[in-house]
Structure 1
Amino acid sequence: MAKSSHRHHEGHAAGLGPEDRATRTEIATAARHGHTGTEEGGHAHAGGHDHAAMIADFRRRFWVCLVLTVPILALSPMIQGILGLEAALAFPGSDYVLFALSSVVFFYGGWPFLVGLAEELKSRRPGMMTLISLAITVAYVYSSAVVFGLEGEVFYWELATLIDVMLLGHWIEMRSVMGASGALEALVRLLPATTLRLTPTGETEEVPVSELKPGDRVLVRPGDKVPIDGMIVKGSSSFNESMLTGESRPVDKGEGQEAVGGSINGEGAVTIEVRKTGDQTYLSQVIEMVRQAQATRSRAQDLANRAAQWLTWIAILGGGGTLAVWLIAGAGFNFALTRMVTVMVIACPHALGLAVPLVVAVSTKLTAQNGLLIRDRAAFERARNLDVVIFDKTGTLTEGRFGVADVVPLGGRSAEEVLSWAAALESQSEHPIAQGVVRGAAERGISLKPVTDFRNLPGRGAEARIEGHDVKVVSPGYLRANNLSADDPAIGRLAEQGNTVVYVLLDGAVIGAVALADVIREESYETVRRLKELGIQSMMLTGDARAVAKTVAEKLGLADYFAEVLPNQKAEKVREVQAKGLRVAMVGDGVNDAPALVQSDLGIAVGAGTDVAIESADVVLVRSDPRDVFAILALSRATYRKMAQNLLWATGYNAVALPLAAGIGYGWDILLTPAIGAAFMSLSTVIVAINAKLLERARRLVASAEPIPAGDGQRPQPAATAAQH
């Protein structure tokens, strides 16, 4: 069955236009701050704020409060007593100075948390900001009451150090989130703001990219960024598309080929005719796909959100219970209050709230940077449990072009001589089989002889004069029509395998046969091997002849194959495999693959495929490299491991820290102050952030490895195909 025609990957995902990017570049982040809105499902987003400005704000508040903490420590009676400096540091009115300095720290440094408290109460979803705000408010109000007459001890110094640690933790955390999302925001910055548009008179004028429309022509000079998707109408150059596709090598392109907006022009000036604008452009579609992926609900995130809400109520009730128990036990109010504040601080579900979103941000960044575009995150997470990957054949496992599978010489000739005569003749033809013969000769280092008097033999082949000889390359039908024979068991075996066999005649005598087949991608061998290492079976689905499918399956070592499958039967074959209790991924690139992509548990479209296939898929492989299928599945497993590790740490940490915060270690002189509790809580958050960032070490999973040879150590041979000359 003929595949749908291939198209370049530019513009095949669904999307967002450059004119929208000013208002839609706030890529979803994973933080849950008091100054951010929280989407249902737990994915926090920027809420329109500039993350860089917020990071700077937290940094500024931290340093101001840290400076003020020094005199607060010096004026605190408890610190003076510990250092024996009461006489040196105490002075009339020092309590009021301490109150004033602490008030600045409370209102200025604690303001983000107080705002967060109001937002969480407004949404009726108390969380981290509620706990922090309650802790610092209780500490501040109680200490201020002591300054103005209530009997007790102030602990302004603990209030100040608690706020310092919380600000520092948020600052570090936001930098981690910014780093995780930075690569995605960099996609938006790939397009230049202005470009050189050619006028009807041939002059150039600098115009904003947003003003370009289809049909406009722009000049892209060496080293410039391509401003928008378009067709090269003049000149040729190499283009660096690494930020778009992950392909590190520059891609050579000339007239009639498409250039992708955001790629970097190499050494030549080119004129490009604008073909796509707005949300049709490839880069805009990638940005939208990434945005949608980060906004997709995650089952793991839902679990983390529920756990965080439970932890919030446990902290509030536990804090109140701790206060009551210590007071009943006869402890002083100051001591009991300190224990309560410590419990509420250390139980903040900050790490739990970040456990999954940070991993999501890093994995989305990794995939986008390497041309692996996730359209449905839930399906991506399910990929870790797959049992089978079913590949379409033509254009996915194979290159969709002819190559020389074998040469059978006859009459004492050599294989090189037979191929030399055939390639010289076929060099004059544009037929796909002719081009395959010429490529096969070039790969073997065979030079072409000069050709004269070339002419086609309609439906039978072609002939020409080469070095004074009459040379023909013909089909089996020509031999039968002219009572010629070429009996050789090797030729019969090649034909049985589904190869296309053509015969070479020299001065009327058959001197050999050339077998051609669809070329198996070298990367396909490694893909199948790596999937086996993951415990995943590889199968193939094709409309090609059974002999062709069998040959490809045997060469690649596939677990099973389905041949001669009609377009409307592909989804049915996927259901057959699923009916065995297996979870299935389908990899395809054509319109006829779309139903199977939808039916599968994970639909993967190769980026050179059609729009319909891509719209039906959960994941798009920009590079059309089958090894990226392994990369997606391996990265899915690595992502899930990081989520599980973070959730385990965030919950396990509280199981140990909460009893210590409540004072269970008091009999062994183990007591945690609110500041130490805040440090532990912040450390837990930082550990979760660092562990998420360590997912970047999985970059090797999404970087295509060097091709490996076929099992016999030789260059992989082309697969058979049922097409005839």
Structure 2
Amino acid sequence: MKSLGGLLQIAALRSAVLKLLPQHAFKNKVMAVVWLATVMAMLVTAIGASPLYWGLSISLILLLTILFANYAEAIAEAKGHGQAAALKQARQKLSARKVTHPSDTHPVMLAATQLKINDLIEVRAGEYIAADGEIIQGFATINEAAITGESAPVLREAATDRSGVIAGTQVLTDCIWVQVTADAGHSFLDRMIAMVEGAQRQKTPNEMALGWLLGVMTLTFIIVVLTLPVFAQFLGFNIDPLLLIALLVCLIPTTIAGLLPAIGIAGMNRALAANIIAKSGKAVEVAGDVDVLLLDKTGTITFGDRQATDFYPLTGVTQSRLAMAAMLSSLADPTPEGKSIVSLAKQLGLELCVPAQARFIAFSAATRISGVDLEDGQQFRKGALDAILAFSQQSIGQQIELKTRVEQVASRGATPLVVAENHDILGVVALSDVIKPDIRDKFAQLSHMGIKTIMVTGDNPLTAAAIAAEAGVDDYIAEARPEDKLHCIRQHQAAGHLVAMVGDGSNDAPALAQADIGLAMNSGTQAAKEAGNMVDLDSDPTKLLAVVAIGKQQLLTRGALTTFSLANDVAKYFAILPAIFAVALPSMQQFNVMQLHSPESAIVSALVFNALIIPALIPLALRGVVFHSDSASQLLARNMLIYGVGGVILSFVGIKAIDLFLSLFF
């Protein structure tokens, strides 16, 4: 049985041959000129204007040049098709249990293709989710291995930022009710497959600009070559048409033109290999130019699982009273922090008693407060310092002890939450988080590359400053609301910066849409995934750092191969120009610096090298140039040395080696 790699090679070869058809060949301006040159070489040979063996040799080499360029693009596409085939296995013939509401006991079984947006479906343990959606009730562990490749199940829960589910994933435990957010054929998985297969790949701005430049260079060289016969007539000799065709192909930048499509496709494939779905090639490329990163503290800089660790009551307040008030005010807080407060209070021996006829105030990012109003008029609140001060109608100047407690907790990098009862402030709850051990080194690398990092957190300024200093970020936004992120992004964009950010909640959607790179979490809400131009299947906020590296690697790869392409043209000029004029102008022999055997071997050597260098560079185009987190000037210097000077040397050596071999036949 043939291996997957062998099947990809066969598919790529078949595609390379099909791309010889004019409707495909003329999509690449430079290679279209080579295609026309090949046809002209065949016609010149057919009418007997040049010796048969000579004409066939030139025609065959030119045809191979086109095939190698087609193969470079085809092998990149074949890799994408192979990844898409794996994804399609997750798109099974699914059915759904449609209900009108969660308590509906008479569900209707439908095929997944019959589901529409806003339909409600019930999914039980062991069943596959039939459509993209949001969990509106319940929670469950879900196997997303078909999408992410990660075998460990993940928890998805209603009314959180981890409520999004994807068609084709399997519910392992419990039962959930999902509201459909995408029609059949337009699911996240369908769009993933289309992106991976390249059906929706658009050329990036830099790719189009480089293509335009290569087109202008090609047109210039066509004009130069067309004037040579006139110049030759003036000197009293004729130039073989095949020599002019060979010269034109060697002059134009065929190497980078042949590899350019493959570089763009490979960039998206590298993103997919990192479990990142880029909605366009532009998104991958823009990531390489980003110079400002907005990162949430929780889950990115820290592990994100803040836990209540201590209760700090004020003078005259017992720890039990503070703990009970904190627990009651956290009953409507579904966040991990709120749940940890309830857990810590239970560890102190307090009994959880849900009050009858109570009115709960749910926690929200906008108010940054949660609580409960009891039937007897008692009010309990827990939240950020300024929110509780506003609730209790007090100022920090009236609460010197509270200010000291808050600063004491915040100075240790913990987050202080203030608890109040009936407008009386009882004390502070400390939420502790742990900074990821390698994050400081990553920020140092980004700073070295000239990228500014901004930490966004809901913590108070003192806590934010302590964590920012420990993590090594350049700046921070404390007590941040969703609109603060949007304002920060717009402010930096107005100053000419390219901004990237990561988010997973519906309240992150405006900022994700505004950012030049918006990385949405796969586990997040549908609104966030729609707003971002990239989706991380692993739901790892630190993946934003990998996105920047992938983008820079793509830009570096394109720049390196462009430099190499232009550099190796220098050797081809020195090989073929003396060969053309050597007969009529013996003085041109002084430019035969490579001491090539004969004009014929020089021309064929240059053409053979021109053809062979394309497949030789395919692995580099697909894998990408090794990326080092250096400054732009250091990267440019390394590029010019390795791919500029190195390209000239390799070309001279390569053409000379081919000439030595051909001298046995000419």
Q: Which TM class, normalised by the smaller chain length?
A: 0.5 to 0.7
Aligned counterpart, 1:43:
none
Q: CA separation of 1:123/1:627 partners in 2, compared to 1, >3 Å: closer, same or farther?
A: closer
Which residue identity does 2:452 align to in structure 1?
Answer: Q
Higher-Rg member (1/2): 1
Q: CA separation of 1:370/1:423 partners in 2, compared to 1, >3 Å: closer, same or farther?
A: farther
Supply the distance in 2 between the matched residues of 1:433 and 1:274 (Cα, whole angstroms). 20
Aligned counterpart, 1:311:
218
Aligned counterpart, 1:356:
260
Supply the distance in 1 between the matched residues of 2:289 and 2:30 (Cα, whole angstroms). 36
Which residue identity does 2:218 align to in structure 1?
Answer: L
- The CA RMSD over aligned residues, in Å, is 5.9
Supply the distance in 1 between the matched residues of 2:108 and 2:511 (Cα, whole angstroms). 49
Supply the distance in 1 between the matched residues of 2:24 and 2:549 (Cα, whole angstroms). 42
Q: CA separation of 1:266/1:515 partners in 2, compared to 1, >3 Å: closer, same or farther?
A: closer
Superposition pairs of residues 296-695 of structure 1, within 5 angstroms: 296-311=203-218, 314-315=221-222, 317-318=224-225, 321=228, 325=232, 336-347=240-251, 349-375=253-279, 377-378=281-282, 380-391=284-295, 403-406=307-310, 426=327, 430-432=331-333, 436=337, 439=340, 451=351, 491=405, 493-494=407-408, 499-501=416-418, 515-517=429-431, 519=433, 522=436, 525=439, 528-541=443-456, 545-547=460-462, 549-563=464-478, 571-574=486-489, 576-577=491-492, 583-588=498-503, 602-606=517-521, 617-662=532-577, 663=579, 665=592, 668-671=596-599, 672=601, 676-695=605-624
Stretch deviating more after TM superposition (451-460 or 573-582): 451-460
2:154 to 237, 241, 251: 251
Contact 1:230–1:274 under 8 Å retained in 2 = yes
Q: Secondary structure at the match of 1:358?
A: helix
Q: Secondary structure at the match of 1:657?
A: helix
Supply the distance in 2 between the matched residues of 1:434 and 1:617 (Cα, whole angstroms). 23
Q: Secondary structure at the match of 1:295?
A: coil
Provide, for residues 265-295 of structure 1, a one-character-per-residue CA deviation record: whole Å limited to 9, x for no partner: 4877989867243365222344566669731
Which residue identity does 1:311 align to in structure 2?
Answer: T
Supply the distance in 1 between the matched residues of 2:617 and 2:569 (Cα, whole angstroms). 13
User: What is the CA distance between 1:559 and its match in structure 2?
Assistant: 2.5
Superposition pairs of residues 229-248 of structure 1, within 5 angstroms: 229=132, 238-241=142-145, 243-244=147-148, 247=150
Q: Secondary structure at the match of 1:356?
A: helix
Which residue identity does 1:139 align to in structure 2?
Answer: T
**How many residues are matched?**
561
Q: Secondary structure at the match of 2:624?
A: helix
Q: Secondary structure at the match of 1:669?
A: coil
User: What is the CA distance between 1:604 and its match in structure 2?
Assistant: 4.7
Q: CA separation of 1:687/1:248 partners in 2, compared to 1, >3 Å: closer, same or farther?
A: farther
Contact 1:128–1:349 under 8 Å retained in 2 = no
Superposition pairs of residues 47-86 of structure 1, within 5 angstroms: 55-56=13-14
Contact 1:388–1:585 under 8 Å retained in 2 = yes
User: What is the CA distance between 1:130 and its match in structure 2?
Assistant: 1.6
Aligned counterpart, 1:718:
none
Supply the distance in 1 between the matched residues of 2:334 and 2:59 (Cα, whole angstroms). 79
Supply the distance in 2 between the matched residues of 1:613 and 1:272 (Cα, whole angstroms). 20
Contact 1:231–1:259 under 8 Å retained in 2 = yes
What's the TM-score once normalised by structure 2's chain length?
0.63
Aligned counterpart, 2:637:
none
Q: CA separation of 1:458/1:555 partners in 2, compared to 1, >3 Å: closer, same or farther?
A: farther
Stretch deviating more after TM superposition (266-275 or 584-593): 266-275
Q: Secondary structure at the match of 2:94?
A: strand
Aligned counterpart, 2:77:
178
Which residue identity does 1:306 align to in structure 2?
Answer: L
Q: Which blocks of at least 5 consecutive residues in structure 1 are unaligned?
A: 1-49, 60-110, 147-151, 412-417, 463-471, 480-484, 505-511, 701-725
Contact 2:58–2:242 under 8 Å retained in 1 = no
Supply the distance in 1 between the matched residues of 2:56 and 2:344 (Cα, whole angstroms). 77
Provide, for residues 197-231 of structure 1, a one-character-per-residue CA deviation record: whole Å limited to 9, x for no partner: 669999999x9753455658698996x97553357
Supply the distance in 2 between the matched residues of 1:221 and 1:591 (Cα, whole angstroms). 27
Q: Secondary structure at the match of 1:294?
A: coil
User: What is the CA distance between 1:57 and its match in structure 2?
Assistant: 6.6
Supply the distance in 1 between the matched residues of 2:355 and 2:70 (Cα, whole angstroms). 76
Q: Secondary structure at the match of 2:47?
A: helix
Q: CA separation of 1:579/1:428 partners in 2, compared to 1, >3 Å: closer, same or farther?
A: closer
Matched, 1:283 2:241: no
Supply the distance in 2 between the matched residues of 1:261 and 1:434 (Cα, whole angstroms). 26
User: What is the CA distance between 1:239 and its match in structure 2?
Assistant: 0.8
User: What is the CA distance between 1:353 and its match in structure 2?
Assistant: 1.9
Contact 2:98–2:108 under 8 Å retained in 1 = yes
Provide, for residues 406-461 of structure 1, a one-character-per-residue CA deviation record: whole Å limited to 9, x for no partner: 456999xxxxxx89x969995997343996476479899x9786948776999999
Q: Secondary structure at the match of 1:261?
A: coil
Q: CA separation of 1:285/1:516 partners in 2, compared to 1, >3 Å: closer, same or farther?
A: farther
Stretch deviating more after TM superposition (124-133 or 629-638): 124-133
User: What is the CA distance between 1:641 and its match in structure 2?
Assistant: 0.7
Supply the distance in 1 between the matched residues of 2:176 and 2:15 (Cα, whole angstroms). 45
Q: Which blocks of at least 5 consecutive residues in structure 2 are unaligned?
A: 1-7, 100-104, 361-369, 373-379, 393-398, 580-590, 630-666
Supply the distance in 2 between the matched residues of 1:248 and 1:422 (Cα, whole angstroms). 39
Supply the distance in 2 between the matched residues of 1:643 and 1:670 (Cα, whole angstroms). 35
Q: CA separation of 1:695/1:434 partners in 2, compared to 1, >3 Å: closer, same or farther?
A: closer
Q: Secondary structure at the match of 1:277?
A: coil
Contact 2:406–2:428 under 8 Å retained in 1 = no
2:46 to 140, 164, 174: 140
Contact 2:284–2:550 under 8 Å retained in 1 = no
User: What is the CA distance between 1:695 and its match in structure 2?
Assistant: 2.1
Supply the distance in 2 between the matched residues of 1:122 and 1:556 (Cα, whole angstroms). 47
User: What is the CA distance between 1:163 and its match in structure 2?
Assistant: 6.3
User: What is the CA distance between 1:516 and its match in structure 2?
Assistant: 3.0
What's the TM-score once normalised by structure 1's chain length?
0.59
Which residue identity does 1:685 align to in structure 2?
Answer: I
Matched, 1:131 2:41: no
Q: CA separation of 1:326/1:271 partners in 2, compared to 1, >3 Å: closer, same or farther?
A: farther
Q: CA separation of 1:657/1:125 partners in 2, compared to 1, >3 Å: closer, same or farther?
A: closer
Supply the distance in 2 between the matched residues of 1:588 and 1:563 (Cα, whole angstroms). 17
Q: Percent identity?
A: 18
Supply the distance in 2 between the matched residues of 1:236 and 1:581 (Cα, whole angstroms). 44
Q: Secondary structure at the match of 1:635?
A: helix
Which residue identity does 2:620 align to in structure 1?
Answer: N
Aligned counterpart, 1:25:
none
Select the structure with the greater relative contact order (CA < 8 A; seq sep ≥ 6): 1
User: What is the CA distance between 1:367 and its match in structure 2?
Assistant: 1.9
